[in-house]
Amino acid sequence: MSRHGSIRAFVLLCSILLLFLAPSASGATKKIILDPAAEPSWQVAVNGIASRSSDAATDVIMTSGGVAWVAGAVEDQSGNHDLSLTKIVNGVRKWTKTYDAYGGPDAARQLAVGPGGVVYTVGLSYKSGAVGLLLVKWSPGGAILWKRRYDIAAALITGTGVVVDKAGNVTVCGYESWLMSSTGKWVMRSYTPGGALRWKWLYAPGSGGTAVPEDICVAGDGSVYATGYLDNSGVQTAMTVRVSAAGKKLWMKTYRGPDGLGATTSAIVRCPSGGVYVCGQVQTSAHNQDGLVMRYAPNGARRVFALDTAGGGTHNERFNDLTVTSTKKIIAVGSSSVSGTYDCRSVTYRSDGTLAVALTFPGTNGGGFTCVAADSMGGFVAGGYWWTSATNCELCAVRGSTLTGGGWWATLFPNPVASTAGRATAIAARGNVVVVVGEYESTVTSDSDQIVLGFVY
Protein backbone atom coordinates (compact mmCIF):
# COMPACT_ATOMS: atom_id res chain seq x y z
CA MET A 1 0.00 0.00 0.00
CA SER A 2 1.59 3.29 -1.06
CA ARG A 3 1.67 6.21 1.34
CA HIS A 4 1.62 9.94 0.71
CA GLY A 5 0.57 13.18 2.33
CA SER A 6 1.94 15.05 5.33
CA ILE A 7 4.79 12.74 6.44
CA ARG A 8 6.09 15.24 8.99
CA ALA A 9 2.67 15.43 10.66
CA PHE A 10 2.34 11.66 10.70
CA VAL A 11 5.81 11.18 12.22
CA LEU A 12 4.86 13.72 14.89
CA LEU A 13 1.69 11.76 15.59
CA CYS A 14 3.72 8.57 15.98
CA SER A 15 6.21 10.15 18.36
CA ILE A 16 3.44 11.48 20.55
CA LEU A 17 1.93 8.00 20.67
CA LEU A 18 4.77 6.84 22.91
CA LEU A 19 2.84 8.56 25.71
CA PHE A 20 0.13 5.91 25.31
CA LEU A 21 2.35 3.44 27.18
CA ALA A 22 0.94 4.41 30.58
CA PRO A 23 1.76 2.13 33.54
CA SER A 24 -0.95 0.01 35.09
CA ALA A 25 -1.38 -0.34 38.83
CA SER A 26 0.25 -3.78 38.73
CA GLY A 27 3.04 -2.85 36.31
CA ALA A 28 2.10 -5.91 34.22
CA THR A 29 3.50 -6.27 30.71
CA LYS A 30 1.58 -7.37 27.64
CA LYS A 31 2.69 -8.23 24.14
CA ILE A 32 4.65 -5.34 22.64
CA ILE A 33 3.22 -3.90 19.45
CA LEU A 34 5.28 -1.06 17.99
CA ASP A 35 4.57 0.13 14.46
CA PRO A 36 4.47 3.81 13.48
CA ALA A 37 3.02 3.03 10.04
CA ALA A 38 1.07 -0.18 10.44
CA GLU A 39 -0.30 -1.93 7.38
CA PRO A 40 -3.68 -3.68 7.59
CA SER A 41 -3.46 -7.46 7.74
CA TRP A 42 -6.24 -7.50 5.16
CA GLN A 43 -8.61 -5.10 3.44
CA VAL A 44 -11.96 -5.40 1.69
CA ALA A 45 -13.69 -2.76 -0.43
CA VAL A 46 -17.44 -2.83 -1.08
CA ASN A 47 -18.57 -0.90 -4.16
CA GLY A 48 -21.98 0.16 -5.40
CA ILE A 49 -23.32 -0.75 -8.82
CA ALA A 50 -23.16 2.77 -10.23
CA SER A 51 -19.88 3.89 -11.85
CA ARG A 52 -19.65 6.91 -9.55
CA SER A 53 -21.43 5.80 -6.44
CA SER A 54 -21.37 7.18 -2.92
CA ASP A 55 -20.99 4.18 -0.61
CA ALA A 56 -20.19 4.11 3.12
CA ALA A 57 -19.91 1.55 5.90
CA THR A 58 -21.54 2.75 9.12
CA ASP A 59 -21.16 -0.04 11.69
CA VAL A 60 -19.28 -3.29 12.35
CA ILE A 61 -19.58 -6.17 14.83
CA MET A 62 -17.23 -9.13 15.24
CA THR A 63 -18.41 -12.58 16.27
CA SER A 64 -16.65 -15.90 16.82
CA GLY A 65 -14.78 -17.65 14.02
CA GLY A 66 -13.25 -14.45 12.66
CA VAL A 67 -16.59 -13.16 11.35
CA ALA A 68 -17.08 -9.43 10.80
CA TRP A 69 -20.54 -8.07 9.98
CA VAL A 70 -20.55 -4.69 8.22
CA ALA A 71 -23.61 -2.51 7.70
CA GLY A 72 -24.02 0.58 5.57
CA ALA A 73 -25.34 1.73 2.20
CA VAL A 74 -24.37 1.43 -1.45
CA GLU A 75 -25.65 3.38 -4.42
CA ASP A 76 -27.48 1.60 -7.25
CA GLN A 77 -27.77 2.43 -10.94
CA SER A 78 -30.79 4.68 -10.36
CA GLY A 79 -28.81 6.89 -7.99
CA ASN A 80 -30.59 5.69 -4.85
CA HIS A 81 -28.88 4.21 -1.84
CA ASP A 82 -29.69 0.64 -0.86
CA LEU A 83 -29.17 -0.82 2.59
CA SER A 84 -26.18 -3.17 2.64
CA LEU A 85 -24.96 -6.01 4.86
CA THR A 86 -21.60 -7.69 4.29
CA LYS A 87 -20.18 -10.85 5.86
CA ILE A 88 -16.39 -11.17 6.05
CA VAL A 89 -14.63 -14.23 7.50
CA ASN A 90 -10.93 -13.94 8.38
CA GLY A 91 -10.49 -11.15 5.89
CA VAL A 92 -12.36 -12.80 3.01
CA ARG A 93 -15.67 -11.34 1.87
CA LYS A 94 -18.27 -14.10 1.69
CA TRP A 95 -21.12 -11.97 0.40
CA THR A 96 -22.77 -8.56 0.34
CA LYS A 97 -26.56 -8.34 0.47
CA THR A 98 -28.48 -5.22 -0.45
CA TYR A 99 -32.09 -4.26 0.17
CA ASP A 100 -34.15 -1.71 -1.75
CA ALA A 101 -37.40 -1.40 0.20
CA TYR A 102 -39.57 0.81 -2.02
CA GLY A 103 -37.36 2.15 -4.81
CA GLY A 104 -36.09 5.09 -2.76
CA PRO A 105 -33.10 5.68 -0.50
CA ASP A 106 -32.42 3.08 2.20
CA ALA A 107 -29.52 2.85 4.65
CA ALA A 108 -28.42 1.05 7.79
CA ARG A 109 -26.94 3.04 10.66
CA GLN A 110 -26.32 0.39 13.32
CA LEU A 111 -26.38 -3.40 13.62
CA ALA A 112 -26.64 -6.01 16.38
CA VAL A 113 -26.17 -9.78 16.54
CA GLY A 114 -28.68 -11.96 18.38
CA PRO A 115 -28.92 -15.57 19.58
CA GLY A 116 -28.29 -18.11 16.85
CA GLY A 117 -26.17 -15.68 14.86
CA VAL A 118 -29.07 -13.66 13.44
CA VAL A 119 -28.25 -10.05 12.52
CA TYR A 120 -30.40 -6.94 12.89
CA THR A 121 -29.85 -3.67 11.02
CA VAL A 122 -31.64 -0.42 11.79
CA GLY A 123 -31.72 2.73 9.72
CA LEU A 124 -34.16 4.38 7.35
CA SER A 125 -36.14 3.83 4.17
CA TYR A 126 -38.10 6.15 1.89
CA LYS A 127 -41.66 5.46 0.75
CA SER A 128 -44.26 7.75 -0.83
CA GLY A 129 -42.93 11.01 0.57
CA ALA A 130 -42.16 9.66 4.04
CA VAL A 131 -38.89 8.49 5.57
CA GLY A 132 -39.47 5.67 8.04
CA LEU A 133 -37.43 3.77 10.61
CA LEU A 134 -36.47 0.42 9.10
CA LEU A 135 -35.55 -2.67 11.13
CA VAL A 136 -34.43 -5.78 9.23
CA LYS A 137 -33.71 -9.24 10.65
CA TRP A 138 -31.21 -11.29 8.64
CA SER A 139 -30.30 -14.97 8.84
CA PRO A 140 -26.60 -15.88 9.26
CA GLY A 141 -26.65 -16.71 5.56
CA GLY A 142 -27.94 -13.28 4.53
CA ALA A 143 -31.63 -14.05 3.94
CA ILE A 144 -34.16 -11.48 5.19
CA LEU A 145 -36.27 -13.18 7.85
CA TRP A 146 -38.55 -10.22 8.48
CA LYS A 147 -38.60 -6.43 8.36
CA ARG A 148 -40.52 -3.79 10.32
CA ARG A 149 -41.05 -0.22 9.19
CA TYR A 150 -42.32 2.55 11.44
CA ASP A 151 -43.52 5.59 9.53
CA ILE A 152 -46.03 8.44 9.59
CA ALA A 153 -47.23 10.36 6.54
CA ALA A 154 -45.06 13.42 5.79
CA ALA A 155 -42.70 12.52 8.64
CA LEU A 156 -38.99 11.85 8.86
CA ILE A 157 -38.22 8.91 11.18
CA THR A 158 -34.65 7.63 11.35
CA GLY A 159 -33.40 4.65 13.31
CA THR A 160 -30.23 5.49 15.25
CA GLY A 161 -29.53 2.40 17.41
CA VAL A 162 -30.38 -1.28 17.91
CA VAL A 163 -29.67 -3.83 20.67
CA VAL A 164 -30.64 -7.46 21.35
CA ASP A 165 -31.15 -8.95 24.82
CA LYS A 166 -30.30 -12.49 25.97
CA ALA A 167 -33.80 -13.71 25.09
CA GLY A 168 -33.48 -12.46 21.52
CA ASN A 169 -35.80 -9.45 21.90
CA VAL A 170 -34.66 -6.52 19.79
CA THR A 171 -35.06 -2.84 20.73
CA VAL A 172 -34.46 0.15 18.49
CA CYS A 173 -34.30 3.88 19.08
CA GLY A 174 -34.84 6.66 16.61
CA TYR A 175 -35.86 10.21 15.93
CA GLU A 176 -39.30 11.29 14.67
CA SER A 177 -39.83 14.72 13.12
CA TRP A 178 -42.16 16.41 10.65
CA LEU A 179 -41.19 18.14 7.44
CA MET A 180 -43.01 21.39 8.28
CA SER A 181 -42.35 21.44 12.03
CA SER A 182 -39.40 22.15 14.33
CA THR A 183 -40.52 19.57 16.89
CA GLY A 184 -39.31 16.00 17.13
CA LYS A 185 -39.89 12.93 19.31
CA TRP A 186 -37.56 10.41 20.94
CA VAL A 187 -38.72 6.95 19.76
CA MET A 188 -38.03 3.51 21.27
CA ARG A 189 -39.69 0.31 20.04
CA SER A 190 -39.11 -3.31 21.07
CA TYR A 191 -39.93 -6.51 19.17
CA THR A 192 -39.95 -10.22 19.92
CA PRO A 193 -37.61 -12.53 17.98
CA GLY A 194 -40.56 -13.23 15.70
CA GLY A 195 -41.14 -9.53 14.96
CA ALA A 196 -44.20 -8.84 17.14
CA LEU A 197 -44.23 -5.41 18.80
CA ARG A 198 -43.60 -5.83 22.54
CA TRP A 199 -43.78 -2.20 23.61
CA LYS A 200 -43.18 1.35 22.43
CA TRP A 201 -42.04 4.45 24.29
CA LEU A 202 -42.15 8.01 22.98
CA TYR A 203 -40.92 11.24 24.49
CA ALA A 204 -42.14 14.56 23.07
CA PRO A 205 -40.44 17.61 24.63
CA GLY A 206 -43.27 19.97 23.69
CA SER A 207 -43.82 22.77 21.20
CA GLY A 208 -40.62 23.86 19.50
CA GLY A 209 -38.57 21.11 21.15
CA THR A 210 -36.69 18.22 19.63
CA ALA A 211 -35.51 15.01 21.34
CA VAL A 212 -32.87 12.90 19.58
CA PRO A 213 -31.52 9.53 20.84
CA GLU A 214 -28.02 8.96 19.49
CA ASP A 215 -27.04 5.58 20.95
CA ILE A 216 -28.45 2.64 22.92
CA CYS A 217 -27.25 -0.32 25.00
CA VAL A 218 -28.91 -3.21 26.84
CA ALA A 219 -28.36 -4.36 30.44
CA GLY A 220 -28.22 -7.95 31.67
CA ASP A 221 -31.79 -7.77 32.96
CA GLY A 222 -33.13 -6.77 29.53
CA SER A 223 -33.66 -3.10 30.37
CA VAL A 224 -32.28 -0.62 27.85
CA TYR A 225 -30.43 2.66 28.21
CA ALA A 226 -30.40 5.33 25.52
CA THR A 227 -28.58 8.66 25.39
CA GLY A 228 -28.84 11.76 23.22
CA TYR A 229 -30.04 15.30 23.60
CA LEU A 230 -32.95 17.73 23.69
CA ASP A 231 -32.95 20.94 21.65
CA ASN A 232 -35.30 23.74 22.60
CA SER A 233 -34.88 26.99 20.66
CA GLY A 234 -31.22 26.26 20.12
CA VAL A 235 -30.40 25.39 23.74
CA GLN A 236 -29.26 21.78 23.98
CA THR A 237 -29.64 19.47 26.97
CA ALA A 238 -27.99 16.05 27.34
CA MET A 239 -30.52 13.31 28.08
CA THR A 240 -30.20 9.69 29.19
CA VAL A 241 -33.11 7.36 29.86
CA ARG A 242 -33.52 3.83 31.21
CA VAL A 243 -36.54 1.76 30.14
CA SER A 244 -37.40 -1.58 31.73
CA ALA A 245 -37.61 -4.86 29.82
CA ALA A 246 -41.38 -4.38 29.88
CA GLY A 247 -41.22 -0.89 28.34
CA LYS A 248 -41.72 1.18 31.51
CA LYS A 249 -39.63 4.29 31.98
CA LEU A 250 -37.49 3.75 35.07
CA TRP A 251 -35.83 7.15 34.99
CA MET A 252 -34.90 10.02 32.70
CA LYS A 253 -32.01 12.36 33.49
CA THR A 254 -31.00 15.62 31.83
CA TYR A 255 -27.84 17.70 32.14
CA ARG A 256 -26.96 21.19 30.90
CA GLY A 257 -23.51 21.57 32.39
CA PRO A 258 -22.12 23.38 35.44
CA ASP A 259 -23.20 26.77 34.09
CA GLY A 260 -26.51 25.65 32.57
CA LEU A 261 -25.35 26.64 29.08
CA GLY A 262 -26.04 23.32 27.38
CA ALA A 263 -24.68 19.84 26.71
CA THR A 264 -25.19 16.85 24.41
CA THR A 265 -24.29 13.16 24.59
CA SER A 266 -23.59 11.00 21.55
CA ALA A 267 -22.43 7.55 22.71
CA ILE A 268 -23.11 5.06 25.51
CA VAL A 269 -21.40 1.94 26.86
CA ARG A 270 -22.09 -0.42 29.74
CA CYS A 271 -20.16 0.01 32.98
CA PRO A 272 -18.69 -3.31 34.22
CA SER A 273 -20.07 -2.73 37.74
CA GLY A 274 -23.54 -1.74 36.51
CA GLY A 275 -25.06 1.28 34.86
CA VAL A 276 -23.57 3.10 31.88
CA TYR A 277 -21.02 5.65 30.76
CA VAL A 278 -22.01 8.35 28.26
CA CYS A 279 -19.92 10.95 26.44
CA GLY A 280 -20.38 14.14 24.45
CA GLN A 281 -19.72 17.83 24.96
CA VAL A 282 -20.70 20.58 27.41
CA GLN A 283 -20.73 24.37 27.12
CA THR A 284 -19.00 26.29 29.91
CA SER A 285 -18.45 29.99 30.52
CA ALA A 286 -14.74 29.52 31.22
CA HIS A 287 -13.66 27.20 28.42
CA ASN A 288 -16.32 27.40 25.69
CA GLN A 289 -16.90 23.73 24.74
CA ASP A 290 -15.40 20.86 26.79
CA GLY A 291 -15.34 17.08 26.44
CA LEU A 292 -17.94 15.41 28.67
CA VAL A 293 -18.06 11.93 30.24
CA MET A 294 -20.66 10.89 32.83
CA ARG A 295 -21.57 7.70 34.63
CA TYR A 296 -25.17 6.79 35.45
CA ALA A 297 -25.71 4.12 38.09
CA PRO A 298 -28.59 1.64 37.62
CA ASN A 299 -30.78 3.85 39.86
CA GLY A 300 -30.00 6.96 37.79
CA ALA A 301 -27.46 8.54 40.15
CA ARG A 302 -25.04 10.61 38.09
CA ARG A 303 -21.31 11.25 38.36
CA VAL A 304 -19.80 13.89 36.09
CA PHE A 305 -16.18 13.09 35.24
CA ALA A 306 -13.47 15.72 35.06
CA LEU A 307 -14.21 17.86 32.01
CA ASP A 308 -11.68 17.72 29.20
CA THR A 309 -10.55 21.32 28.71
CA ALA A 310 -7.29 20.46 26.90
CA GLY A 311 -5.42 22.69 29.31
CA GLY A 312 -7.88 25.55 29.44
CA GLY A 313 -8.63 28.33 27.00
CA THR A 314 -11.73 29.08 24.97
CA HIS A 315 -11.18 26.45 22.30
CA ASN A 316 -13.51 23.50 21.65
CA GLU A 317 -13.30 19.86 22.73
CA ARG A 318 -15.88 17.13 22.22
CA PHE A 319 -16.09 13.36 22.56
CA ASN A 320 -17.74 11.26 19.85
CA ASP A 321 -17.34 7.75 21.27
CA LEU A 322 -16.08 5.84 24.31
CA THR A 323 -15.16 2.34 25.44
CA VAL A 324 -14.04 0.47 28.57
CA THR A 325 -10.74 -1.44 28.42
CA SER A 326 -10.01 -4.80 30.02
CA THR A 327 -8.15 -2.81 32.70
CA LYS A 328 -11.41 -0.90 33.46
CA LYS A 329 -10.11 2.39 32.09
CA ILE A 330 -12.61 4.55 30.21
CA ILE A 331 -11.35 5.85 26.87
CA ALA A 332 -13.15 8.80 25.28
CA VAL A 333 -12.19 10.02 21.81
CA GLY A 334 -13.09 13.00 19.68
CA SER A 335 -11.50 16.28 18.69
CA SER A 336 -9.85 19.42 20.04
CA SER A 337 -9.29 22.83 18.45
CA VAL A 338 -6.32 23.96 20.57
CA SER A 339 -4.02 24.32 17.56
CA GLY A 340 -6.54 26.31 15.52
CA THR A 341 -7.79 23.33 13.53
CA TYR A 342 -9.75 20.35 14.85
CA ASP A 343 -7.28 17.60 15.78
CA CYS A 344 -7.62 14.00 16.98
CA ARG A 345 -8.08 13.80 20.76
CA SER A 346 -7.98 10.82 23.16
CA VAL A 347 -8.55 10.91 26.92
CA THR A 348 -8.12 8.05 29.40
CA TYR A 349 -10.19 8.21 32.61
CA ARG A 350 -9.99 6.17 35.79
CA SER A 351 -13.25 4.65 37.04
CA ASP A 352 -13.50 7.32 39.76
CA GLY A 353 -13.83 9.98 37.08
CA THR A 354 -10.33 11.43 37.29
CA LEU A 355 -8.29 12.03 34.18
CA ALA A 356 -5.28 9.73 33.70
CA VAL A 357 -3.88 10.53 30.23
CA ALA A 358 -4.92 13.13 27.65
CA LEU A 359 -3.42 13.39 24.16
CA THR A 360 -3.95 15.64 21.17
CA PHE A 361 -2.46 14.65 17.79
CA PRO A 362 -1.81 17.98 16.06
CA GLY A 363 -1.58 18.09 12.30
CA THR A 364 -1.10 20.85 9.78
CA ASN A 365 -4.57 20.33 8.33
CA GLY A 366 -6.50 18.81 11.25
CA GLY A 367 -8.49 15.68 11.96
CA GLY A 368 -10.64 13.95 14.55
CA PHE A 369 -11.48 10.60 16.12
CA THR A 370 -15.01 9.30 15.49
CA CYS A 371 -14.96 5.82 17.06
CA VAL A 372 -13.10 3.60 19.53
CA ALA A 373 -13.06 -0.05 20.65
CA ALA A 374 -11.17 -1.98 23.33
CA ASP A 375 -9.13 -5.11 22.59
CA SER A 376 -8.47 -8.01 24.98
CA MET A 377 -4.92 -6.93 25.80
CA GLY A 378 -5.51 -3.76 27.82
CA GLY A 379 -5.47 -1.70 24.65
CA PHE A 380 -7.85 0.31 22.52
CA VAL A 381 -8.04 1.45 18.90
CA ALA A 382 -9.39 4.86 17.89
CA GLY A 383 -10.45 5.58 14.34
CA GLY A 384 -11.26 8.76 12.49
CA TYR A 385 -9.93 11.06 9.79
CA TRP A 386 -6.65 12.88 9.17
CA TRP A 387 -6.26 15.70 6.67
CA THR A 388 -2.91 15.18 4.91
CA SER A 389 -3.48 18.34 2.86
CA ALA A 390 -6.15 20.97 2.43
CA THR A 391 -7.86 18.78 -0.19
CA ASN A 392 -7.16 15.21 0.98
CA CYS A 393 -8.65 13.46 3.99
CA GLU A 394 -7.56 9.93 4.89
CA LEU A 395 -8.84 7.25 7.25
CA CYS A 396 -6.66 6.95 10.36
CA ALA A 397 -6.51 4.33 13.11
CA VAL A 398 -4.37 4.48 16.25
CA ARG A 399 -3.83 1.75 18.84
CA GLY A 400 -2.89 2.73 22.40
CA SER A 401 -2.51 0.77 25.64
CA THR A 402 -3.23 1.19 29.33
CA LEU A 403 -0.46 -1.25 30.25
CA THR A 404 3.29 -0.75 30.56
CA GLY A 405 4.83 -2.16 27.40
CA GLY A 406 1.36 -2.70 25.99
CA GLY A 407 2.40 -1.34 22.62
CA TRP A 408 0.91 0.95 20.02
CA TRP A 409 0.54 1.26 16.30
CA ALA A 410 -0.86 3.79 13.85
CA THR A 411 -2.01 3.78 10.26
CA LEU A 412 -3.13 6.17 7.57
CA PHE A 413 -5.10 4.44 4.82
CA PRO A 414 -4.65 6.61 1.74
CA ASN A 415 -7.04 7.51 -1.01
CA PRO A 416 -5.23 6.82 -4.32
CA VAL A 417 -6.57 10.18 -5.49
CA ALA A 418 -6.99 13.39 -3.49
CA SER A 419 -10.38 13.09 -1.80
CA THR A 420 -12.42 14.30 1.13
CA ALA A 421 -13.99 10.84 1.57
CA GLY A 422 -11.44 9.07 3.77
CA ARG A 423 -12.62 8.43 7.32
CA ALA A 424 -13.36 5.69 9.83
CA THR A 425 -16.94 5.41 11.10
CA ALA A 426 -16.91 2.34 13.37
CA ILE A 427 -14.54 -0.16 15.02
CA ALA A 428 -14.97 -3.64 16.49
CA ALA A 429 -12.42 -5.74 18.38
CA ARG A 430 -12.38 -9.39 19.38
CA GLY A 431 -9.35 -11.03 20.92
CA ASN A 432 -6.29 -9.79 19.05
CA VAL A 433 -8.24 -8.77 15.92
CA VAL A 434 -9.49 -5.25 15.22
CA VAL A 435 -11.74 -4.34 12.29
CA VAL A 436 -12.12 -0.71 11.19
CA VAL A 437 -14.79 0.37 8.70
CA GLY A 438 -15.51 3.60 6.87
CA GLU A 439 -15.15 5.06 3.41
CA TYR A 440 -12.46 6.13 0.97
CA GLU A 441 -12.09 6.99 -2.71
CA SER A 442 -10.29 4.35 -4.74
CA THR A 443 -10.29 5.94 -8.21
CA VAL A 444 -11.26 9.19 -9.88
CA THR A 445 -14.47 7.50 -11.08
CA SER A 446 -15.54 5.78 -7.86
CA ASP A 447 -16.72 8.75 -5.74
CA SER A 448 -16.52 6.77 -2.46
CA ASP A 449 -16.47 3.10 -1.48
CA GLN A 450 -16.99 1.17 1.71
CA ILE A 451 -13.66 0.11 3.19
CA VAL A 452 -13.06 -2.62 5.78
CA LEU A 453 -9.59 -2.98 7.32
CA GLY A 454 -8.48 -5.87 9.53
CA PHE A 455 -5.54 -5.71 11.95
CA VAL A 456 -4.27 -8.92 13.59
CA TYR A 457 -1.64 -8.70 16.33
Task: Name the residue type at position 214.
Answer: E
3-class secondary structure for 179-202? Answer: CCCCCEEEEEEEECCCCCEEEEEE
Residue 267 · residue 316 · CB < 8 Å: no
pLDDT on residue 446: 65
Task: Name the residue type at position 309.
Answer: T
User: Stretch 281-296: mean pLDDT, rounded?
Assistant: 96
User: Stretch 275-285: mean pLDDT, rounded?
Assistant: 97
Half-sphere exposure of 155 (CA within 13 A, CB side): 17
Residue 4 has pLDDT above 50, yes or no: no
User: Burial level of 127, CB count in 10 A (0-12/13-18/19+)?
Assistant: middle
Phi, psi at 425, each rounded to 5°: -115, -25
pLDDT on residue 155: 81
pLDDT on residue 207: 75
pLDDT classification of 185: cutoffs 50, 70, 90: very high
Instruction: Give the pLDDT confidence of 72-90 residue by residue, as tens digits.
Output: 999 887 778 899 999 999 9
Higher pLDDT, 131 or 161: 161
pLDDT on residue 195: 98
Residue 3 has pLDDT above 70, yes or no: no
Rounded distance, CA 84 to CA 96, Å?
A: 7
**Cα 246 from chain centre:** 27
Look at residue 66 and give its three-state secondary structure.
Answer: helix
Residue 447 has pLDDT above 50, yes or no: yes
Residue 20 has pLDDT above 60, yes or no: no
pLDDT on residue 34: 84
pLDDT classification of 136: cutoffs 50, 70, 90: very high
Q: How far lies 308's CA from each of 25, 64, 275, 296, 373, in Å?
A: 23, 36, 22, 18, 20
Rounded distance, CA 343 to CA 337, Å?
A: 6
pLDDT on residue 19: 40
Least confident of 43-52, 129-138, 266-275: 43-52
DSSP state of 39: P
> Nearest Cα to 67, choosing from 85, 53, 50, 51?
85
Most confident of 10-19, 64-73, 414-423: 64-73
Look at residue 20 and give its three-state secondary structure.
Answer: helix
pLDDT on residue 45: 94
How high is the mean pLDDT of the chain? 90
Least confident of 43-57, 182-196, 421-435: 43-57
pLDDT on residue 201: 97
pLDDT on residue 212: 95
User: Stretch 111-121: mean pLDDT, rounded?
Assistant: 98
Q: What are all long-range contacts of 435-439, with beta carbons under 8 Å and residues at least 24 apart? A: 435/60, 435/62, 435/68, 435/88, 436/60, 436/381, 436/383, 436/395, 436/397, 437/57, 437/58, 437/59, 437/60, 437/70, 437/72, 438/56, 438/57, 438/383, 438/395, 439/55, 439/56, 439/57, 439/395
Length of the chain equals 457
Residue 16 has pLDDT above 50, yes or no: no
Residue 378 · residue 327 · CB < 8 Å: yes
Residue 199 has pLDDT above 80, yes or no: yes
Higher pLDDT, 253 or 153: 253
pLDDT classification of 5: cutoffs 50, 70, 90: very low
Residue 158 · residue 129 · CB < 8 Å: no
Any bridge partners for residue 63, and if so which? 67
Whole-number percent of the chain with pLDDT over 70 = 90
DSSP state of 89: E
Instruction: Give the pLDDT confidence of 350-396 residue by residue, as tens digits.
Output: 999 999 999 998 878 999 999 999 999 999 999 999 999 999 999 99
Rounded distance, CA 106 to CA 108, Å?
A: 7
pLDDT on residue 130: 84
pLDDT on residue 191: 98
pLDDT on residue 30: 36
Rounded distance, CA 147 to CA 121, Å?
A: 10
Least confident of 32-41, 65-74, 315-324: 32-41
Higher pLDDT, 25 or 131: 131
Instruction: Give the pLDDT confidence of 234-270 residue by residue, as tens digits.
Output: 889 999 999 999 999 999 999 999 999 999 999 999 9
pLDDT on residue 36: 86
pLDDT classification of 52: cutoffs 50, 70, 90: low
